[in-house]
Structure 1
């Protein structure tokens, strides 16, 4: 009698960006932060998630710095990153497939620059999506008044009801996500957008305000303080 094999969980960390808005001297993922680097904190959190079968970091083809900044990383590395996030993630999915990941396996895509992620938040996402037909993402409902801008001035106030701010990880089946990204092209800014373009509705799983993406110079100082004051 044949028995079905339970789907495994893989993480993909796109790490090929240059961080042009961060003001950092070099790629922001390698910026020093609270005794480590930005991506070092991210990978440390992922390593604490027992249900992750493997973590794959996708670097730019010319990246020769990762091993110096993350000497203790024991996951997979691929230097196949592209010019956009979507291209980098798609190449990571190809690498997973080439290394034995199956179409029904789950993939959790997480930004290298969301370095305040906690293992328990990732476990919450896995629990919420494990039995879901589509998958989902960590996100937060918008709390602030939302303005539309035109030439530096307010053009309109938008209704914030029902609007959420997307975070990562975003968790979808390998085969479905691979096909969705191929259909959507390089312009999508997150995996959920590609899934939505296929007519599917990802599940929203409430995340944390701390799980922000380091983008601007002030973000680094805030992240440093939060990391240093954690228990």
Structure 2
């Protein structure tokens, strides 16, 4: 039997509050949809159902997926006004050879491939619908007008996940006969008179709905994911104090503080970040890209270097996962403006930037003559 997976990514994601459909929200430098697609069995055809407003973005995501872990076929179609209409659009796009259909929510982005495999095997064995489930462990109460009216026996209750699997012909017939909206495909399938079996689900298959869910997903991915999919780099820069120029540090002005001498604006923090970005991506260092032999960079704002470095990193197939910067110098005092500095740098980089600061106890160059900055960068492979 040929298998196809319909990935439903057409939800608005209002409760996530990301300002975009939740399938396109960022999760550990990838989109939620990217994470969902890499867990689809590679031998299954793929249909992604996306909002009409994000069709092009979905096509780019699927095209990148096909380069990394290609499915036999992969297409993107526009979703409808309801989830049921979106799944129907996905069904209409299936190739003639498909016999088994899995319907999966992109929001369950971390559902492991083993769940897909269990569902497919059970559909082939039973010839009926199959859903992955988890036992309900919390006590369940029935409530009316804010008052508990009964305790529900949880012995026969399960929490339902996706992917949900079905024989294609039976699912298409059930969709054609449906006259009301159902909460999931299994309910629609059962309403048409078919049986639905269960297989064990997985806790990682939870649905990303709120910001807390997105944070939980990032924690589950953990540092192992970043290490497996990323590269690190270190950058260092130092400049002497120059009281005749204004201080530009981390892309911010620091009135009343002595500036830093340099070929450009002397922003040691951004220079260190640029050096780390180039190092991590294997693109040399700041001197080879923006050296003092380049007159066009004389007096330039260091944000220009950062923008160019980020572009080079992206062209090389990498995305910034996070940045950490340690500033070493007697002044300025970083603490009072640390949050402002972190927020500004994070906006420039497009990823979280953490800033630390220390002195060298008046020892050496950074004791009183100048300021140094050390940056570390983690890049993640672009999906």
| Correspondence for 1:165 | 159
Larger Rg, first or second structure (1 or 2)? 2
Task: Assess, with a 3 A threshold, how the Cα gap between structure 1 residues 69 and 56 changes in structure 2: closer, same or farther.
Answer: closer
Q: 1:126 aligns with which of 110, 120, 125?
A: 120
Question: Is there any run of 5+ residues in structure 1 with no aligned partner, and where?
Answer: 1-6
1:149 Cα shift?
3.0
Determine if the alignment matches structure 1 residue 60 to structure 2 residue 51.
yes
Distance 1:28 1:58 in 2: 13
Partner of 1:136, secondary structure, is strand
Deviations along 1:52-104, whole A, 9 cap, x unmatched? 1x1110112232332455551335233331011111001110111xx3245xx
Contact 2:100 2:120 in 1 (8 A): no
| Correspondence for 2:262 | none
Contact 2:100 2:123 in 1 (8 A): no
What is the root-mean-square deviation of aligned Cα atoms in Å? Answer: 1.9
1:179 Cα shift?
1.4
Point out the more displaced range, 8-17 or 173-182. Answer: 173-182
Q: 1:87 aligns with which of 85, 88, 91?
A: 85
Determine if the alignment matches structure 1 residue 15 to structure 2 residue 13.
no
Deviations along 1:34-55, whole A, 9 cap, x unmatched? 1211111000111xx2441x11
Task: Assess, with a 3 A threshold, how the Cα gap between structure 1 residues 88 and 60 changes in structure 2: closer, same or farther.
Answer: same
Q: Which has the higher contact order (CA 8 A, sep 6+)?
A: 1
Distance 2:203 2:216 in 1: 12
Distance 2:135 2:223 in 1: 26
Relative to the length of structure 2, the TM-score reads 0.54
Q: 1:178 aligns with which of 172, 191, 200?
A: 172
Equivalent residues, number = 218
Contact 1:8 1:106 in 2 (8 A): yes
Which one has a larger percent helix, Structure 1 or Structure 2? 2
Q: 2:96 aligns with which of 93, 100, 115?
A: 100
Q: 1:114 aligns with which of 108, 118, 123?
A: 108
Relative to the length of structure 1, the TM-score reads 0.87
Determine if the alignment matches structure 1 residue 201 to structure 2 residue 204.
no
Partner of 1:72, secondary structure, is helix
| Correspondence for 1:35 | 29
Contact 1:59 1:77 in 2 (8 A): no
Partner of 1:26, secondary structure, is coil
Question: Is there any run of 5+ residues in structure 2 with no aligned partner, and where?
Answer: 67-72, 226-383
Which one has a larger percent strand, Structure 1 or Structure 2? 2
